């Protein structure tokens, strides 16, 4: 199938979704390749319901279990990380002290493998944390995953009976390398390479690449698709992340990435009758892999704040610490909040069903 034919089929599928109201929860992720090794990753978290989650410091040296039955993977965290939770039962985003970032985004097409009775297993809730705990680079993570297959098992979304969680992951590191991990029809597909800068929810990543190739023929300064659909967000982010100025200055680089992620965000409280699942942006994060800065912005707060991972004690003795973001992530913080975390009992990852 040609790129143009594939693109037309995607347009048709998107049109059907538009009028049948089956669009999915929405997020966008983009990697910025700046000068002098300045690499940043930004993402939006778009979700229809109020988001229950906080920011946590998770130390190295913690023993974990994959929470997916008797053949669950076991490991001890090698790296400490700063993460944002989903419903206080899962890691939805995070940056570790080695500069590896993991982003979990919703993808309706995700289908996880049936238990084959042999392969080690891992709950979807702790899948992102597995990478943050164990790897410093994308290449290291991908090599390990290819040599040591692990099956992921999902569970029900809290407060949404009967709805199973379906996500895919993006990984990025201080070198600018990226990987996209998707479970399609029970098989893990890995797209690994520096060129994979952008990811949205739908469609599958192979089809997202076809969209990029099509829109690369259009002058993005003259016209870009403007809706909140995943396909249009993917096209805008793909153009803008490379069109913005490239800075080695940490503050200016973060501003550039935030401007791109805001451009592909959905207005707060947006509601359209024939798109019941159109999701408002709840929060945004930007990670500076070079300086190990993890920025957070809630859409209902006037301030951007950040954690400087170089100022964080990730030793086992320092314990697990929490920054309470409050309802709708509306508690007010500003500047470096590295010293504002409070020692707290760890949140429980959700076991797979």
Task: Find where tokens 């964080």 sit.
Answer: 312
Half-sphere exposure of 168 (CA within 13 A, CB side): 31
Asked whether the beta carbons of 28 and 257 are under 8 A apart, the reply is no
CA dist 302 and 78 (Å) reads 35
Count of CB atoms within 10 A of residue 335's CB? 11
Asked whether the beta carbons of 148 and 131 are under 8 A apart, the reply is no
CA dist 78 and 62 (Å) reads 8
CA dist 242 and 245 (Å) reads 8
Asked whether the beta carbons of 89 and 123 are under 8 A apart, the reply is no
- Catalytic site residue from 17, 26, 27, 198: 27
217: its two tokens: 């023929």
Residue 91, by phi and psi: left (phi above 0), alpha (psi -120 to 50) or beta? beta
Active site residue 42: no
Which residues are designated catalytic? 27
């Amino acid at each position: 199938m040609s790129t143009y034919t594939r693109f037309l089929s995607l347009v048709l599928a998107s049109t059907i979704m538009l009028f049948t109201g089956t669009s999915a929860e929405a997020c966008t992720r983009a990697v910025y390749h700046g000068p002098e090794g300045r690499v940043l990753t930004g993402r939006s978290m778009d979700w229809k319901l109020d988001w229950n989650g906080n920011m946590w410091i998770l130390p190295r040296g913690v023993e974990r279990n994959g929470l997916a039955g008797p053949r669950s993977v076991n490991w001890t965290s090698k790296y400490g990380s700063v993460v944002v939770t989903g419903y206080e039962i899962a890691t939805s985003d995070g940056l570790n002290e080695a500069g590896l970032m993991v982003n979990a985004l919703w993808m309706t097409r995700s289908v996880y493998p049936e238990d084959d009775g042999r392969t080690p297993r891992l709950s979807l809730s702790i899948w992102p944390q597995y990478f943050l705990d164990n790897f410093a680079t994308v290449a290291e993570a991908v090599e390990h995953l290819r040599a040591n297959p692990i099956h992921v098992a999902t569970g029900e979304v809290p407060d949404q009976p009967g709805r199973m969680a379906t996500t895919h992951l993006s990984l990025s590191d201080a070198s600018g390398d990226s990987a996209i991990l998707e479970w399609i029809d029970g098989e893990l597909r890995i797209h690994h390479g520096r060129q994979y800068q952008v990811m949205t929810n739908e469609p599958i990543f192979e089809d997202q690449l076809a969209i990029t190739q099509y829109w690369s023929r259009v002058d993005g300064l003259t016209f870009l698709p403007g809706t909140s659909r995943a396909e249009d967000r993917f096209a805008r982010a793909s153009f803008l992340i490379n069109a913005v100025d490239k800075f080695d200055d940490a503050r200016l680089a973060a501003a550039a990435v935030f401007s791109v992620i805001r451009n592909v965000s959905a207005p707060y409280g947006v509601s359209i009758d024939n798109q019941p699942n159109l999701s408002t942006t709840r929060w945004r994060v930007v990670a500076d892999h070079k300086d190990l800065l993890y920025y957070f912005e809630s859409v209902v707060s006037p301030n951007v704040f950040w954690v400087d991972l170089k100022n964080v004690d990730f030793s086992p003795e320092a314990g697990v610490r929490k920054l309470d973001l409050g309802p709708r992530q509306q508690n007010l913080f500003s500047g470096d909040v590295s010293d504002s975390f409070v020692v707290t009992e760890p949140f429980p990852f959700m076991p797979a069903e």
